[in-house]
Amino acid sequence: MVTPVEKRNSNKFYDFHNDKGHSTDECMQLKKQIEELVRAGKLSHLIKEMKQGRKQTKIGRKEVADKDKPTTIYMVRSWQRTVKQKITQSFEQEKEITFPPLTTNDGTDGPLVIEAEMGRHTIHRMYIDGGSSMEILYEHCFNRLRPEIKSQMVPATTSLTGFSGETTWPLGQLRLLMTIGDITHSTKAWMNFMIVKSLSLYNGIIGRPRLKAIQAVPTMVHGMLKFPTEEGIVTIRSSLLIHAECTSIDTSSPIPREKNTRPANLTLPLHPNFPNQEVVVGGSLSDKGRTELCALLKKNLDIFAWQPSDMT
């Protein structure tokens, strides 16, 4: 139970929540999270008694040099107020994917967000969207990839349609091998990401096609993503960041707001015999769309009335 603000001891301050009421040593929530991390083996490098067990789990595993470790890309905002999961992955030696029943007090109403590795980058805030037929990588994340990865982008071959029916042409498409899970239990799949220029709280979207490819089953109300491996079933829990971490991690410059300007329309002649009779083409069309539209109009010049005699 959270103590009301007016009843908290103002003489005590705890850094973990940046608030008053008790000291950091007395913070029960901090102690619980530390205990969970110890059980998960996240703090084994700090505990002498666990060193031997840690060495055994790493027998035969090649040590990765610091320079070869994947670069982490965060997507956080200082104003977010979300809860951090204590453990984001678990493993069961089962072959059947099941989910526990929920009571009225269980479950979550938040989005299903995970982290994954691709192109030797650890990408946070990848949104699992069962309603999307495409995999999306937003431009702000794409710009932080290594140059040799970005250079692999090729022109997009299809447009994207939004909820309201608007059509957007991606900046390009990028095929990357994505790994979901940790070094012990994980799954991999090649994903063809559409690079989209749009402000978003997420770094990217994983849609239906790749979820099917890895045989993953997401459930938003549980905040879980489960997928099979040869050894058993892996459970990925939605990973969200707490407010304090968002403030300390977000060191990148803010994304400037784009001016709400409408592209100018283009005026073009179509008929070689009537150069003064021009048509207006919307400036919001892409170069490809504009070229295809003009070619279609020129192919069907006979259906337009260019002079009075054409109207009879």
Residue 190's domain spans which residues? 66-249
Between CA 297 and CA 294 the distance in angstroms is 5
pTM: 0.51
Quote the CA–CA distance of 54 and 114 in Å, as a whole number.
26
Clarify whether residues 45 and 119 are in a common domain: no
Q: How far is CA 3 from CA 6, 7, 12, 28, in A?
A: 8, 7, 14, 13
Residue 174 lies in a domain: yes
Q: Which segments within the chain are labelled E, that is strand?
A: 9-14, 19-21, 71-73, 89-92, 113-118, 121-128, 135-138, 160-161, 167-168, 172-181, 186-196, 204-206, 217-219, 224-228, 233-237, 266-269, 278-281
| CATH number of the domain enclosing 209 | 2.40.70.10
Determine, yes or no, domain membership for 188: yes
Asked whether 274 and 241 are in contact (CB, 8 A), the reply is no
Same domain, 204 and 116: yes
| Same-domain check for residues 72 and 50 | no
Do 276 and 185 belong together in one domain? no
- What pLDDT score does 153 carry? 94
pLDDT of residue 47: 61
CA distance 40 to 34: 10
- Evaluate whether residue 298 is within a structural domain: yes
Q: What pLDDT, on a 0 to 100 scale, did the predictor assign at position 299?
A: 83
Domains contained in the chain, number = 3
Residue reference for tokens 């892409």? 286
pLDDT tens-digit profile, the chain (312 residues): 555 556 666 666 556 556 666 666 677 777 777 777 777 777 666 665 545 554 555 544 545 445 566 676 665 444 444 444 444 667 676 677 888 887 777 777 788 999 999 888 999 999 999 888 899 999 999 999 999 999 999 999 888 887 777 888 999 999 999 999 888 888 999 999 999 998 888 999 999 988 998 888 888 888 888 998 888 888 888 876 443 344 444 444 455 555 556 667 778 787 788 878 887 877 777 878 878 888 888 888 778 777 777 776
Buried-exposed string 137-171: b where 16+ CB fall within 10 A, e elsewhere: bbbbbbebbeeebeeebeebeeebeeeeeeeebbb
**53 and 73 share one domain:** no
Domain shared by 133 and 275, yes or no:
no
CA distance 130 to 217: 10
| CA-CA-CA-CA dihedral for 276, 282, 286, 291, to nearest 10 | -30
Per the domain annotation, does 258 fall within a domain? no
Residue type, 214: I
- Predicted pLDDT of residue 251: 44
Are 16 and 53 part of one and the same domain? yes
Distances (CA, A) of 179 to 4, 23, 227: 44, 41, 12
Task: Clarify whether residues 94 and 16 are in a common domain.
Answer: no
Kindly state whether residue 168 falls inside one of the protein's structural domains.
yes
Could you tell me if 214 and 227 are in contact, meaning their C-beta atoms sit under 8 angstroms apart? yes
In a domain, 126, yes or no: yes
> What is the residue type of 139?
E
| pLDDT value of position 101 | 84
Both 108 and 242 in one domain: the answer is yes
3 inside domain: no
Per the structure block, which two tokens stand in for 59? 């027998």
